[in-house]
Amino acid sequence: MKKLHIVGIIVIAVAIGVIFVSLKNTSTYADFTEAIANPDKEYHVVGKLDKAQPQMYDPKVNADEFEFTLVDNKGVAKQVILHKSKPQDFEKSEQIVLIGKMRDNQFHANDILMKCPSKYNDGKPQVN
């Protein structure tokens, strides 16, 4: 065999290994009930901010910890600890997607995606 063939086989084997590792680490969309049942698995939990519950963020104590309550799409509310700083315009978000795991009856999120209200209504800008 030529050296080029050996290098090609090694590259293909590494690529296959990378694909399997990335498939194993993918997370899925779920609700809090499913996340509680599988605490070792990472999930995307979709919900809305519970504005009636307090939010705790003190950047002087820990700038990378923000606590709030999220209600998932099935109506289950859980305390969330986001291991990042509080996002800008957080209270204005219509929908929140958290990426993380359940631990000690709290959802520990490593990342957050927010759907903010559109500034357009039927193609026309809203007047504030």
- pTM for the model stands at 0.70
Nearest Cα residue to 111 out of 42, 60, 49: 42
Residue 43, both tokens: 């999930």
The CATH superfamily assigned to 28-118 is Nucleic acid-binding proteins (2.40.50.140)
Tell me, what DSSP letter sits at residue 32?
Answer: H
Return phi, psi of residue 53, to 5°.
-95, 150
Q: Spell out the per-residue pLDDT of the chain, length 128, in tens.
A: 788 888 889 999 998 888 877 766 556 788 999 999 988 889 999 999 999 999 999 989 998 999 999 999 999 999 999 999 999 888 888 899 999 999 989 999 999 999 877 665 555 555 55
